[in-house]
Amino acid sequence: MKHMKKSKTADLLYKSASILGESPVWHAQRESCLWLDIYGHTLFEYTLKSRTCRQYDLPSLTSFVALSADEQLILASPEGLHHFVFEERKMKLITDLGGLEENYRCN
């Protein structure tokens, strides 16, 4: 990538001030890096090309991000597994996990 300098150290892309930032994922179609602030109930999306970061408020503690084979974003919360629909800024339930015990989270 031309706009990023080569170094032997890590560079900070975005100062999110997350309470608990986890689960980074590269989304090739969107050319962005996604991660969660688990306790802040926020999904972050940093786009390398524009060097901008979007924040999506989530309705509950969400602790896991993955991509499906067709690059749909999958999120896990105590309520279940969800697709995240960027255009609607919403999580849509795929399946219930049968109820997790209090203070448990998906990883």
Residue-wise pLDDT tens digits, 11-63: 777 778 888 878 889 999 999 999 999 899 999 999 989 999 999 999 988 98
User: pTM of the entire structure?
Assistant: 0.81
* Interval 63-68 mean pLDDT: 90
List of residues 6+ apart from 38 with CB closer than 8 A = 19, 20, 21, 22, 61, 62, 63, 105
Whole-angstrom Cα distance, residue 87 to residue 105?
26
Contacts of 56 (CB under 8 A, 6+ apart): 42, 43, 44, 45, 84, 86, 89
> Is the pLDDT at 89 greater than 90, yes or no?
yes
For every residue of 82-105, DSSP letters joined together read EEEETTTTEEEEEEE-S-PPTT--
Instruction: Please give the pLDDT value at position 61.
Output: 87
